Structure 1
């Protein structure tokens, strides 16, 4: 198997040898005008770039926002269809047809078949459904189609939804085994402070999302049309980097936005970890919904970083209500999340065992204990 060239700069995202599989996310404010009508001329220039990438051997997946905005216009709903959950669901139901047709017609003009996939949070949080999505995406790409993916907002609720397509794009990249993600937005990238502030500097390369990097983000959506801001983009970058996937934020407001941004290097490239998690651990590390948390002491934290499983003796608190096999966070005493893992015991059993030595477990449980509260094979460090 040929070894891929390493992605080290924005221009590498158009190189089929460095980036054979690429996810492109398009925000609502780019695809839909303030009047609620699609920006068809702009989208045609982007589709032309996608067709060019397709022609040079890259496999492209598109995560496209815009269904709610398009549907709201057709239903004459206030506040862009976001006045209530019912309005958003209705607008999405109507707008998704228009959105899919828009992409299908423009790609067909270049001889490319578009495929539609509507996903919910549970489709990528449940392991079996995640693998089903992976299989479908792989087959579509093998057939040279371009999957166009969106959250299924017609059935998603506030409790079970991604809430923004930035994080959806990163999770899709994991499921599809992509090399990179491009988030097209109405901003140039990540600045070291509010971009309106005097002396604000655009960060061209970011190596690792730290607390200092998070502090630079603004959680709002500048257009008021989308649901994501810089905070959601950094969360997407974290998901991607853990899986060894590069992620870039580019300004998409210009015609043919990929070529313009990549040619002059204007944007922010978040570098992947040198050895990212793959397979089950990538899925686990990127999970957005966790059933609870286990708080651990410093000794247990050191043991985890040394490659050990999580034992009950190092647990100081149990949070939430979870069952065996559920995904939980592992936190330190200061609240920092150290890992995600699949619990070998439910919350009640964890409370019974926490702080106790393994030799005591059989007597406490009344049955033969398991080897760990979270086995290292079911745990991923963040």
Structure 2
């Protein structure tokens, strides 16, 4: 199987395709309609071959900023971004509906906030909506709901949104169409010795160090760091991810033919709840653990009170918390105690917990069935 074959209809029944602002919108704020028509033709061919397609489309803020005459591409302030998104989203949705309709496909708009996918019940609701739309042969077109999102409750980039959507929809692959053609060993714009990395099996600190944090176009809000974080989220749900250049006509067909780009093959698919946990961008608090507990978790054990060394954050029982070994997040899970009780029993043996708490203790601070290693 070639790298591109992982994303073909035969091996990838459901595919999420993300399109960045720099590809979709010209510097003066117009849709690149001819280019987009080529992308839609690619998507229609895949749909006809039996692949279910979800589009995550940037561009609303860039389009709205031109119509409203806002400076800095509509990103000078949160209020400007919200106003630009409210204006541009109408034009963006209309464009997608028209072009998909010209190929006999029905578009559906879904606008999501961070909370829609961080809250378990709302996540399941979104998942059900994706499932029904795809079963009906509809192409959902997704964007972050920037009209109401604030700095504290937003994805901030559509790369991670695309990966999170893939989890919610049970997708098998994510393709990020970008203004760059993949991950390089260094910034190819400044280092002539930089080389393209065609496949990444493990997203470790060395890989993260290669990322350029900036958005090359100035219109988008992502960058290579966001794409690598998206790959981690996609992996948590068992979805392959590819970073592919969109700076040519019919970029999806070109990728299928050449495989040019960077592919992040996914490990085995995790259970739905654990995938949701691993893909979350937020946590209510943190529990710090010692080296013995870290080794036990790596071996598949639950987190016991004896291995905890401290807590941070006002979390309650049932909240999602990060488990820290030093400065590193090693796991994430649903905690069985609130923060005050964890602080009281941290470092204590199980036989001592009833006397400290005044009630029968639970089996673990975080049970392995409600935990995912990171």
Give the TM-score, by structure 1 length: 0.96
**In 1: Cα distance, 2:105 partner to 2:43 partner:** 10
Distance 2:335 2:126 in 1: 24
Aligned equivalents of 2:21, 2:48: Cα separation in 1: 27
Deviations 1:14-37 (A, max 9, x none): x22211110000001111100001
Conserved in 2, the CA contact under 8 Å of 1:8 and 1:271? no
Question: Do structure 1's residue 231 and structure 2's residue 225 form an aligned pair?
Answer: yes
Aligned residues between the structures: 373
Answer yes or no: is the 8 Å Cα contact 1:192–1:200 preserved in 2. yes
Match in the other structure for 1:305:
298
Is the CA contact (8 Å cut-off) linking 2:5 and 2:11 kept in structure 1?
no
Give 1:8 deviation, angstroms: 5.1
SS state at 2:104 partner: coil
Match in the other structure for 1:77: 70
Partners of 2:213 and 2:310 in 1: how far apart? 31
State TM-score, norm by structure 2.
0.98
CA positional deviation for 1:261? 2.8
Aligned-CA RMSD value: 1.0
Q: Structure 1 residue 166: deviation in Å?
A: 0.3
Q: Verify the 8 A CA contact 2:2 2:259 in the aligned structure 1.
A: no
- 8 Å contact from structure 1 (residues 194, 200) kept in 2: yes
Tell me whether 1:244 sits opposite 2:228 in the alignment: no
Tell me which stretches of 4 or more aligned residues in structure 1 moved more than 2 Å: none
Give 1:4's aligned residue.
Answer: none
The answer to whether the Cα contact below 8 Å between 2:6 and 2:173 also exists between their aligned partners in 1 is no
Partner of 2:249: 255
**Aligned-pair CA distance for 1:302:** 1.4
Mapped to 2, the partners of 1:130 and 1:12 lie a distance apart of 26
| C-alpha distance after superposition, 1:55-89 (max 9, x if no partner) | 11100000000011111111111111111101100
Partner of 2:370: 378
**Correspondence for 2:209:** 215
Matched, 1:365 2:357: yes
What CA deviation, in whole Å up to 9, does each residue of 1:287-325 have, x standing for no partner?
A: 001111111111111111221110010011211221111
Confirm or deny that 1:345 pairs with 2:337. Answer: yes
Deviates more, 1:137-146 or 1:294-303: 294-303
Q: Aligned residue for 2:120?
A: 127
**2:167, 2:276 within 8 Å by CA — same for their partners in 1?**
yes
Q: 1:235: how far off?
A: 0.1
Tell me which residue corresponds to 2:322: 329
Q: Distance in 2 between matches of 1:356 and 1:8?
A: 52
Partners of 2:118 and 2:221 in 1: CA distance: 20
Q: Do residues 58 (structure 1) and 51 (structure 2) align? A: yes
Match of 2:143 in 1: 150
